[in-house]
Chains A and B, each alone.
Chain A
């Protein structure tokens, strides 16, 4: 039953993707749109395959920045959520500061970081980390705070300490919330790295895109977009797959 369902889902997904690209290809062909406005998908793939090293290097760099930033942001978010749960007196102050930084647009911070730290990977990692940090902090914090009251009472009746309640109840209760945050920040981390690269970089997909754009080399630009879209999707899939493994006790989402 379950198996059949997922097969059907895969089939529908593939059909939609195929129809989308066929329509695009056909549209470009029939209207005779010039390649400097919108290249056909076949042309984009061709470009991709004819510069494998260039794209592989750029992808490797951007992915490295994005995942490093993601990791740092997630760890920092987890750490701060834990500290605020264990020492609730600090919550208001820290959250005010956090929301203040969060409200500052990243596109404004990115050029500044590049100005201060140069064209290397560091500003990209910082931007990505900052973008991943807040969703993790906010989701995990509410997961740690909103535990099942019956379970909380049980631990109280066991005379459990604040730390023990955190260790055995609050931390595991926050795992589903962590995955909710990861599903947002995982694909977003790529965007963070790319946006940071636009403000100045010595390599990466963002730089490839920016160069292609200034040269009106649209097949190159779209090739980078294809890679980003595919990478974002793969990251998202890895996260949902790990979620199903890690949060096995919650029934899968139903949609009927």
Chain B
């Protein structure tokens, strides 16, 4: 399922006007793994929330396949995950997944069962525990399991592991990559970590400072596994750093 975005702009109005996004044009093809990077407050979350129909755009159009975001959500085409694991604290691990299962849309694919997703993320032993007894990493694993259960062709991920320690974040990022290889969804993934973006994605979109525009759209064609000592890796890293530090608006920022 591809995503296509035409002349998209977004403003927030509360007291003052914030120009979050300006004139975004974007086509993402099916099964692409796309990383979004850019300075804080440049509108990355806004873009993902617009695609997930959590907010409506001020101007422009978003198409998910042939659908508007609202229809795509109704059809269960889009799954969304953010930094907070967003678990229901009064339900057990299994209870949280059973609830998600209720909202699963019936599609042509064979959806995974609660038992299967628990096993896939390595939480099969914790089914009867409550979220507050889980570590931060386990909580995000549960959120990943829930995402799998939704069986959506598009995954929108807003810094899903940003709140975790470095080691756990690396492990979960690898896990996400392996899930993507097995289930081939289209992934839009916001990250603050340039290394991870290069390691995983097919394509990196770099946003400017507010109002957010796409200032670079870079395919990453380095063969996997991408090791940091690969000269291509280093070159791309250097290139992304220089874009982030001196974006074409002439602004200087500390996003890297």
- List residues of chain A with CB under 8 Å of any chain B CB: 148, 150-151, 153-154, 156-160, 164, 168-169, 172, 175, 248-251
Contacts of B90 in A (CB 8 A): 172, 175, 248-249
Residue among A148, A151, A153, A160 with the most chain B CB within 10 A? Answer: A153
In the complex, are the beta carbons of B88 and A157 less than 8 A apart? no
In the complex, are the beta carbons of B53 and A151 less than 8 A apart? no
Q: In the assembly, what is the distance between CA of A160 and CA of B84, in Å?
A: 19
Contacts of B82 in A (CB 8 A): 150, 153
Contacts of B41 in A (CB 8 A): none
Q: From residue B76, how far is it (CB to closest CB) to chain A in Å?
A: 7
In the complex, are the beta carbons of A153 and B80 less than 8 A apart? yes
In the complex, are the beta carbons of B86 and A153 less than 8 A apart? yes
Contacts of B74 in A (CB 8 A): 159
In the complex, are the beta carbons of A151 and B103 less than 8 A apart? no
Q: In the assembly, what is the distance between CA of A156 and CA of B50, in Å?
A: 12
Contact of A249 among B53, B89, B100, B150 (CB under 8 A): B89
A–B pairs, 26, beta carbons within 8 Å: A148-B84, A148-B86, A153-B49, A153-B52, A153-B54, A154-B80, A156-B73, A157-B53, A157-B54, A157-B78, A157-B79, A158-B103, A158-B150, A159-B74, A159-B76, A159-B103, A164-B103, A168-B99, A172-B88, A172-B90, A248-B90, A248-B130, A249-B90, A249-B130, A249-B131, A251-B132
Q: Which residue of A lies closest to B105 (CB)?
A: A159
Q: From residue B201, how far is it (CB to closest CB) to chain A in Å?
A: 22
Contacts of B131 in A (CB 8 A): 249
Q: Which residue of A lies closest to B104 (CB)?
A: A158
Q: In the assembly, what is the distance between CA of A154 and CA of B78, in Å?
A: 11
Q: From residue B159, how far is it (CB to closest CB) to chain A in Å?
A: 12
Q: From residue A176, how far is it (CB to closest CB) to chain B in Å?
A: 10
Q: From residue A140, how far is it (CB to closest CB) to chain B in Å?
A: 16
8 A-B pairs closest in CB distance: A249-B89, A158-B103, A157-B80, A150-B84, A150-B86, A154-B86, A159-B73, A151-B86
Q: From residue B71, how far is it (CB to closest CB) to chain A in Å?
A: 10
Q: In the assembly, what is the distance between CA of A31 and CA of B170, in Å?
A: 76
- List residues of chain B with CB under 8 Å of any chain A CB: 49, 52-54, 73-74, 76, 78-80, 82, 84, 86, 88-90, 99-100, 103, 130-132, 150
Q: Which residue of A lies closest to B103 (CB)?
A: A158
Contacts of B52 in A (CB 8 A): 153, 156-157
Q: In the assembly, what is the distance between CA of A159 and CA of B74, in Å?
A: 6
Contacts of A172 in B (CB 8 A): 88, 90
Q: In the assembly, what is the distance between CA of A160 and CA of B80, in Å?
A: 14
Q: From residue A170, how far is it (CB to closest CB) to chain B in Å?
A: 12
Q: What would 6 more interface pairs be, CB under 8 Å, given A150-B86, A154-B80, A172-B90?
A: A153-B86, A159-B76, A248-B90, A249-B130, A250-B89, A251-B132
Q: In the assembly, what is the distance between CA of A248 and CA of B132, in Å?
A: 10
Q: In the assembly, what is the distance between CA of A156 and CA of B76, in Å?
A: 11
Q: Which residue of A lies closest to B52 (CB)?
A: A157
Q: In the assembly, what is the distance between CA of A154 and CA of B90, in Å?
A: 16
In the complex, are the beta carbons of A169 and B88 less than 8 A apart? yes
In the complex, are the beta carbons of A158 and B100 less than 8 A apart? yes
Contacts of B79 in A (CB 8 A): 157
Q: In the assembly, what is the distance between CA of A157 and CA of B76, in Å?
A: 9
Q: Which residue of A lies closest to B70 (CB)?
A: A159
Q: In the assembly, what is the distance between CA of A164 and CA of B78, in Å?
A: 19
